[in-house]
Amino acid sequence: MKKKFILILLLLFTLIPQTLLANAGTALMWFPIMQLIFGNILIGIVEGIIVSVIFKTKWIRSILIMIAGNYVSWLVGNGLIIVFQNTLIDSLFKLDNVFALWILSLVILYLLTVLIELPFFRWTFTKNERFWPRSWKLSLIINAVTYTIMILIYLNVSKYSFFTDLKIDQSLLNNKTEFELFYTFKGDIYKGIIKQNISGEKIYQIPNTIKFPSLYLKEDSINSTINLNLVNYRGDTLLVQNSFVEPYNKKYYPFLFEKYGRTYADFRDTTRQDWEASAGGWAIEGITFRYNDNTMQNYAFEVPWMFWSIGNISILNDSEVMCIINDRIIILNKDTKKVAFITKGNDYMIRKTN
């Protein structure tokens, strides 16, 4: 029986490299799945052996109990952390304190793990040896070691330069009244298209009934205008504003570029476009600034339980871009390395007005 059990474990571990290589996506996306399938078994074996060696418990029984404890703590802990981040961080916070709250979530997860696995450590002992103080210390110490190792592994495939290398500074929104922003925001109820200047003054709201909408610009070759349209996944189209930008007025007409089938704007002088900005499909790719001399700047935020992708990039001037990170419309200054929160939004279009 013992030989069969060990053989099965060895066979499971040999499948890990093949599983990692066979799947698309970022490493961090697959690590929680790998931990759920295989990692909890390995951690349970290590913890069970430690308990067995130090306290002379039955090693097979200790291993099986600790494997079960790790699965329970993983499921409960991750579920609570996801709720914590979705309800608190994503809903209530703009950009301030997001990174600090994420670190706090790691501490909370460790304490939850200690608490959830506490009875499992206690059950590894015989009834006469099940002392709560000893089990509590054991859970604190062993989980501190295994949790630290797991966090180091996770951080090795994470990226958090968006919050560590950039500074939040709302003064970036000053003197931006020459830009008007049209954006969609979808909470529990779709709120239509909202038009405002970047500094935050809401001008008016256009209600509509199209579900899952996207904003896009389309050139009308007959009237020589570029119009703002709203479209959904079924192809239903609503004209939001005719002559959104005037192609014959170079001051207001941006250079339109297309990324992943979406059209956005570059308001720079065509003679001074010595860098470009792009966003990858995955959160860990973030936003990248590429210069003519082949140097690059990259800012991204993909950490355990938080995958904040960046997209919808528009270049405002020689140093600033507008983009969306996790349903937050922001301005980013690549020279001063500062960001500013504008509003919550799922999609946007921007134009110059004066």
What would the pLDDT profile of 258-309 be if each residue is shown by its tens digit? 554 455 778 888 777 889 898 888 899 999 999 987 889 999 999 888 889 9
Q: Quick one: which of 99, 244, 215, 117 has its CA closest to 162?
A: 99
Q: Is residue 36 part of a domain?
A: yes
Question: How far is it, in rounded angstroms, from Cα 58 to Cα 48?
Answer: 9
Q: Is 195 left (phi over 0), alpha (psi -120 to 50) or beta?
A: beta
Residues 253 and 203 occupy one common structural domain: yes
Same domain, 245 and 297: yes
Is 284 within a domain?
A: yes
Statement to judge: residues 226 and 144 lie in one domain: no
Is the same domain home to 298 and 197? Answer: yes
Are residues 172 and 145 located together in one domain of the fold?
Answer: no
If asked whether residues 118 and 209 sit together in one domain, one would say no
**345 domain residue, yes or no:** yes
Backbone phi, psi, residue 227, to 5°: -105, 155
284 touches 328 (CB < 8 A): no
Rounded to whole angstroms, how far apart are CA atoms 229 and 218? Answer: 7
Q: Say if 16 falls within a structural domain.
A: yes
User: Residue 266: inside a domain, yes or no?
Assistant: yes
Which of 105, 131, 157 lies at the terminal end of a domain, its last residue? 157
Number of domains in the chain: 2
- Rg, the chain, Cα only: 26
- How much is the pLDDT for 330? 95
Do residues 101 and 12 share a domain? yes
Does 183 lie in the same domain as 61?
Answer: no
Asked if residue 186 is part of any domain, the answer here is yes
74, part of any domain:
yes
Give the chain's residues under pLDDT 70.
1-33, 35-36, 187-191, 204, 206-211, 233, 235, 246-263, 354
User: Would you state the pLDDT for residue 194?
Assistant: 74
Among 157, 180, 210, identify where a domain stops. 157
Cα separations in angstroms, 61 against 47, 70, 285:
12, 14, 44
Mean pLDDT of the chain: 79
* pLDDT for the residue 8: 37
Task: Give domain status of residue 162, yes or no.
Answer: no
Among 347, 286, 278, 283, residue whose Cα is nearest residue 313: 278
Whether residue 133 is found in the same domain as residue 197? no
Each residue of 68-120: pLDDT tens digit? 988 888 888 777 877 777 778 877 789 999 999 888 888 888 888 899 988 89
DSSP 231-260: E-TT--EEEEEEEEE-TT-TTT-PEEEEET
Q: Is 0.75 topped by the overall pTM?
A: yes
Q: In this structure, are 17 and 76 located in the same domain?
A: yes
- Same domain for 276 and 146? no
- Same domain, yes or no, for 132 and 203? no
Mark which of 111, 132, 157 sits at the end of a domain.
Answer: 157
| Domain assignment of residue 28, given as a range | 2-157
What's the confidence (pLDDT) of residue 191? 65
- Between the two ends of the chain, the Cα-to-Cα distance in Å is 80
323 and 313 Cβ atoms separated by less than 8 Å? yes
The answer to whether the beta carbons of residues 208 and 183 sit under 8 Å apart is no
